[in-house]
Every structure is written in structure tokens, then in C-alpha cells.
Amino acid sequence: MPMDEDQELLQDFLVEAGEILELLNEQLVDLEQRPKDSELLNAVFRGFHTIKGGASFLSLTALVDICHRAEDVFNALRNGEREVDAGLMDVILPVVDVVNEQFDEIRTGQEPTPAAPELLAQLEGLLSGDVSKVESESASEVIESTADADAEFEAIIDAAQNAKKNSASSPVKSTNGNDEISADEFEALLDQLHGEGQHAGVPSDKPIGTTNTNDTKKTGDHSSGFITDDEFESLLDQLHGTGTSVDSQSPAIGENKNKTSVSLDEKSPENIQEQKKPVVEIVKSTEIKKAKASVAAKEAPAQQAETTVRVDTKRLDDIMNMVGELVLVRNRVATLGLAIRDDEMAKVVSNLDVVTADLQSAIMKTRMQPIKKVFGRFPRVVRDLARTLKKEVNLEMEGEDTDLDKNLVEALADPLVHLVRNAVDHGIETPEQREAAGKPRAGTVILTAEQEGDHILLLIQDDGKGMNPDTLRNAAIEKGMMDAESAARLEDKECFNLIFAPGFSTKQEISDVSGRGVGMDVVKTRIEQLNGTAEIDSEEGRGSIIRIQVPLTLAIMPTLMVKLAEQIFALPLASVNEIFHLDLTRTNTVDGQLVVMVRDKALPLFYLRRWLVSGATYDELPEEGHVVVVSIGAQRVGFVVDKLIGQEEVVIKPLGALLHGMKGLAGATITGDGKISLILDLPGLMHTYTRGA
């Protein structure tokens, strides 16, 4: 096979098997909770079997070995030879981790590293009885549970090859009473059907049922490459005798044109029927299904067309970039249309606006993925952490089908994993503590995702011990984050948000799970980089809830365009809460910070002109101005701007080498009038200019 075809097959295998592997993590945790669910058990078995089959075709021996042993374990479970328990899952779940690591190696062009002998030995230890017996029964179970005819044919080949190994020295006649059909007997059956030498052995390059031209007169038209029902009936007649059953007739098959005869044990016709049943039924079901599929394909070819196509994500990104350029052109045309003030021009601009918006929406949908891709890993995370901490935790997930941009799905994975681990570690109590508090032994963590306009709302909720605001105040004082007077002025919600501060932790002991005070700070920073917000609320003894809000996509951003001196800047609209005009002479100074009272609450004020306009640091303050109130994490501040231009959708362009990495700037864009505008990174801006405040 050409190298490019090999690579194409390998990539297809990695994609399809990777999806199965992601699902296996969730299915295995579900199976531990529902060990009697035979449908789920079969699904896990088929998952390992499918990965093993693809790996075997691609000669990935290390991957085949570990999947084959896992498959044997689940075959034993299906046969009732042992039951699903936590100990078994402690062995099987690391198998999924090893397979994931092997997949990563294959993606980088390396040979997969064989699984550790200790893990393979543990898998062998899970099997009860004779391992070889489990393996031999596995093939027939796969055939009965899998609807794919190709998988059935593969099982026939495996059975024939195993038989050949076990009876390589056996004569043509099988009179040893072991109830097994030999490879020579199977060859004789094919010779009876097609003529000696026409089937090319097992496995064959030709489909079963293909004959030469001399056989066509006896067996009919084989242009389709499949055995017909009449031929199959003829084969049964030769095997058992015309019009009679196996129970009452001699099992002589007959002679082929080379006088090759195959005799079966006459003393055990029931065993013969039982032993022949898998082979005969496999051939019959496979060929009839193929024949019917061939006829159906000829009658209705249009119905068999594929409805999906796999597209490289880079191509989607390129298309999205081109749509972004189109949005910029639309903005420019719209600006020119307003300047011309022509009715016909206005209609054209309106139509262009509608078409561009529809195209933008359609392209964005192609980049959307269900957040289940992230949620799917949490059952395993919660299960492993709960066993480590000796807690009992139930995980509930809602809104898994909520779609958002694929880049956001990937970016949210690590922050959400940490928040879920934090809920299990800090929030949920031990079973003994919960019983003492009058709660059920098992705690509950609820993950929820829902769409709100052009944003996604994520909730991480637990019914644990909650947080005590005074404990958080004291911890902040002990760590030198603030003095006692400042801590006393904090509201309860502001105390809860202290957990997002760098280095803050209420854990007395540092473990491999928590206590270092770095996790929540990283979570907050990452979410702010996504132009999102994070809020936390808690009630002592009842539990906590964390709300995360992120935009649907990062490619095209709605912004508020403002003017400082003669330069235009863009503020992410997702962060803007309200705008008002203010008499700036009514401000006050508290602890050295300029504030204005808004609805009886002090709002910190900052003049963006002093930060962003060269030479304006010590300019005289105006008496009136526009105040844009924004949310930065859990904090609300007001930015004073010179002029409001309006809302505009912009495409984020990366900054050049000179400005790249500059704090407070998220990127740049081209405005409707063709000028370049800088997009502000509000959290970075605050961190840079208020560090000493």
C-alpha cells in the first residue's frame, strides 16, 4: 500500500478511535455505578474491540496487546464469570490512560510504547478460569453482538486461523471427537461450493462466493461476487443430506471434483450440529446481508450517500479569517454608505449586512462543538479524586449539548478541571462529616452549561460545607494581603472572591491535590484572557456555586468604540455594564483613590486618557465626561473617556513584533473608516497601571 494511503488510514483511525476512547472514560465510570447494565457493558466491550481491530490492521502491536487483554476482561464480565467492582475499575481505567499515551506517541510518528508488564499481569489476574477459553469464546460473542458484516467475516478468518494452529497435523477426517472443524474440513466446504483451488484459501483476496467461469453454469451468475440463497441451500444439502436434518442423517459431506471427502463423527450428531452452528450461521448471515446490501445499493444508490465530511480545522480557521476580512469590508462600505446618503446605496449596504451576518453565523456554527467534549472527562476526574480522598461524590451534568467555539472548548478544559477538583477537595465533606451534619453520605457536584444570548454560562455547584467569610478574612490578614481594617470592610461576596487571589489558600497542609494557592488564580487569569468573567457565591453548611461567563466565539468580537484625544480604542462589549454622563466635580477621594457614588456605592474612577495618550499624564481633568462602567473579574470600575463612538463588531488581529506582549493590549482591528484601532485588555490594563495604587 502506498505510504500516503497508509498515513491517510492512520489519521482516520486516530480520529475515530480517539472518539471511542473519549467515550470509554465516561462509559467506564457509568459502568461502575450501573454494573448490571448489559447494554453499557457491551458498548465498552465493542469500544476496545474496535480499537484493537483497527490497530491490528495497522500493525500497532503494543496497542493490540493491551486492548486485547482488556477485551478479554469485558468478555468474561459479559459471560458472568466475574462482576464489575471498584477494584476492577482501578485496573481498567489506567488501561485507558496507557492507550491515550500510545495514541499521543502514534500522532508524533513514534512506535507506541508497550504497556508495563505489571499492568498486563493485573489484567490477566482479573480473568477467572482458563484465559484461552475466554479468548476462544470472544470471537463468537463479537459476531453475535456486532451488526457489521465485515467484523463477522474477520471473526471467521480468526476462527479458521486458530483452528489451523490447533490442528495443523490433523488428517482430513475428523474422528477425534473434539467437536472442532479443522482447517482442511473448512477448505473442503469451500471446494464443494466453488471448485478446488478457486477460493484461494482463507483469508481470500476474493469475496466468498466468487467462482470461475466454468462454475457459473452450475451455480448461476456470480457477477455480484456473493453467494446466492440457492447455493447456500445446496451447501446445506451436501452437508446434511437433502431435505433432512443433522439429527437424523449421516454427516457425510460428499465429494468434490477431485474426490476429496470429509467425514465427521457419526457418533455425536448433536455435537456436530452445535459445533457447526457458528461457522454455518456466520457464512449465511454474512453472505445474505452482503447480497441484500448489494441489491439495496443498486436500487437506491442516492440514499446511501454520506451526509458528513471530515474537514481539517486549519481550513475552517482560514475560512473564518476570510469571513472576518469580509466583516471589515462590510463595516467600511456601511460607513461610506452613510456618508453618501443615497437610498439605493443604503439598500445595497443593508443587503450586504444581512448576507454577511448570515455567512458569519453559518461559518461560526461549523466551528462549534458541544461542551460535552470537556464535560466527558469529569466523571473520571471526580471518581479518581473521590477514591483518593476517601469521599463519596455523585457528579451530575446538565446542558452537555450546548455548543461553543472549538477554541473555547479547548481553552476551558483546564480551568474547569481545576474548579471541579476544587469542589470535590475543598467543598465536599467526608461521609462521616456529612452524616454528622444531617446530610446524605454522598455529596453532589453539578455541572451546568447554557447559552445566554451571545455568551455561555457555566455553573459549578456543590452541596458541601460552603465558605465562612470570616475565615477568609483572617486568612487574607495572615498572608499579609491586607490589614485588619480593610478586611473588615469587605462584603461577604468580596471575601469569597479572595480565593482567586494569587497565593491564597485556606488549606493547612499542602498535598498533591491542593494547598499551594496557585490554582484559582490561574483559573481566573485564563477566563479573563477569554474575555470572560468568574463569580463565586457560597453559604456555609449549604455549599458553593461558581458562575463563569464566556463569549460564544473569540474570532469576531463585539466592542464599544471610544475616543481618547484623537485616537480610537475598542473596549470588549462583554465587559461593559453601563455608561453614564457625569459631572466629574462630584467625585471624592477615598484611601487615595478617586471614586464616585453610584447607587449608594463607591465606584473607583480611572482616566484612560492619562494611561493611553502620550503626554497626557498630568493634563487638567475635564469637568464633565462619559463614564464606562466595566466588570473586571469580581470588581466594578469606571473608565472616563473623551467621546463615545458606538458599538462595532471587529476582527481581532495580532499585534506586530514591536507591540507584541505589551500589557493592556489584546490586539488591533480596522475600523469602519479604515483606521487602525487598538483593542484593550482590561484586566491587563488594570494590573499594569494600578499595581502601585
Q: Mean pLDDT per segment of 10 residues, for the chain of length 693 residues?
A: 61 84 86 88 89 87 89 87 86 89 88 88 73 37 40 50 47 44 62 53 42 43 55 61 43 40 41 42 44 46 60 81 84 83 85 87 82 86 90 91 84 88 90 92 93 85 91 87 84 85 66 55 83 86 90 80 89 88 81 84 87 78 84 84 88 77 82 82 82 46
Question: Using alpha carbons only, what angle is made at residue 303 by residues 152 and 154, rounded to the nearest 5 degrees?
Answer: 10
Last residue of a domain, one of 75, 101, 135: 135
User: Do 194 and 172 fall within a single domain?
Assistant: yes
What is the Cα–Cα distance from 337 to 192, expressed in whole angstroms?
Answer: 83
What per-residue confidence (pLDDT) applies to 139?
Answer: 36
3-state secondary structure of 647: strand
252 φψ region: left (φ > 0), alpha (ψ -120 to 50), beta (else): beta
Give the closest residue to 163 by CA, choosing from 181, 147, 146. 181
**Given the DSSP bridges, would you call strands 601-607 and 635-641 parallel, antiparallel or unpaired?**
parallel
Give the closest residue to 233 by CA, choosing from 278, 181, 284. 284
Last residue of a domain, one of 551, 586, 604: 551
33: domain CATH number?
1.20.120.160
What per-residue confidence (pLDDT) applies to 277?
Answer: 42
576: domain CATH number?
2.40.50.180
Domain membership of residue 382 as a residue range: 370-551
DSSP-assigned beta bridge partners for residue 270 = none
H or E segment at 594? strand 593-598
Q: Show the cell assigned to 373.
A: 467534549
Q: How many residues does the chain have?
A: 693
User: Do 575 and 653 fall within a single domain?
Assistant: yes
User: Do 74 and 217 fall within a single domain?
Assistant: no
**Given the DSSP bridges, would you call strands 576-583 and 455-462 parallel, antiparallel or unpaired?**
unpaired
Does the bond joining 35 to the residue before it have cis omega, within 30 degrees of 0? Answer: no
What is the Cα–Cα distance from 418 to 526, expressed in whole angstroms?
Answer: 12
Domains identified in the chain, total number: 5
Q: Which amino acid is present at 391?
A: K
What per-residue confidence (pLDDT) applies to 671?
Answer: 80
When computed from its CA atoms, the radius of gyration of the chain, rounded to whole angstroms, is 35
H or E segment at 456? strand 455-462
User: Do 391 and 534 fall within a single domain?
Assistant: yes
**Given the DSSP bridges, would you call strands 393-398 and 368-370 parallel, antiparallel or unpaired?**
unpaired
Please, which residues have CB within 8 angstroms of residue 17's CB and are 6 or more apart in sequence?
Answer: 50, 51, 54, 55, 103
H or E segment at 636? strand 635-641
What is the Cα–Cα distance from 679 to 562, expressed in whole angstroms?
Answer: 11
User: Do 387 and 531 fall within a single domain?
Assistant: yes
3-state secondary structure of 432: helix
What is the Cα–Cα distance from 692 to 300, expressed in whole angstroms?
Answer: 74
Q: Is 148 contained in some domain? A: no
Last residue of a domain, one of 551, 583, 614: 551
Distances (CA, A) of 70 to 80, 106, 133, 599: 16, 20, 15, 64
User: Do 485 and 533 fall within a single domain?
Assistant: yes
What per-residue confidence (pLDDT) applies to 638?
Answer: 92
435: domain CATH number?
3.30.565.10
User: Do 625 and 685 fall within a single domain?
Assistant: yes
User: Do 320 and 247 fall within a single domain?
Assistant: no
**Given the DSSP bridges, would you call strands 576-583 and 588-590 parallel, antiparallel or unpaired?**
unpaired
Report the b/e string of 344-372 with b at 16+ CB within 10 A.
Answer: eeeeebeebbeebeeebeebbeebbebbb
Angle, helix 61-78 to helix 86-107, in steps of 10 degrees? 150
Structural contact between residues 420 and 382, judged by C-beta atoms closer than 8 angstroms: yes
